[in-house]
Structure 1
Amino acid sequence: AAALARQGEVATEAVPPLPPCEAIGATGADAGRYVNPVCGMSIEIAKALHVVEYAGRKVYFCCDCCKAEFERAPERYLAAASQRSD
């Protein structure tokens, strides 16, 4: 019974908060970051594992699923991303 922690302790002590999408709305974009055009997640360019070169520029993704979705309709996602940044 001593090995079992109370439910509240497990949630706050064992699992650090890692909400990846909170940084998207932060003011002042960090240098070295890129906004994934598929899901809107902020990606650290130096650590990006999923990258596509399209129309002479690199596009970074959080996961292979977003990368594959982008490859199916790249123009659609790039158009939507440019509208969001305007």
Structure 2
Amino acid sequence: MAQAVDVVCQMTVDVADTTPHVDYEGTRYYFCCAGCAKSFQENPAQYVNQNKA
């Protein structure tokens, strides 16, 4: 099973059809829960930029 790192809480999550996700600027980001997905949606640049540093 594929895995991804939640950019909000840094938790490793298993990627499945039901895994919360958001598509932002051509990239799909996966999250451990709907709460992290909501935080990302409210300010995606904060999380994307912190992980590019």
Amino acid paired to 1:54? Y
Gaps of 5+ in 2: none
Q: Does 1:33 align with 2:3?
A: yes
Aligned match of 1:71: 41
Gaps of 5+ in 1: 1-30
Amino acid paired to 1:74? P
Which is greater in Rg? 1
Q: CA RMSD in A?
A: 1.7
Question: Higher relative contact order at CA 8 Å, sep ≥6: structure 1 or structure 2?
Answer: 2
Tell me the TM-score normalized by structure 2: 0.84
Cα pair 1:35 1:60 within 8 Å, conserved: yes
Change (3 A) 1:48 1:61: farther
The number of residues matched between the two structures is 53
Percent identity between the aligned chains?
A: 30
Structure with a larger share of its residues in helix: 1
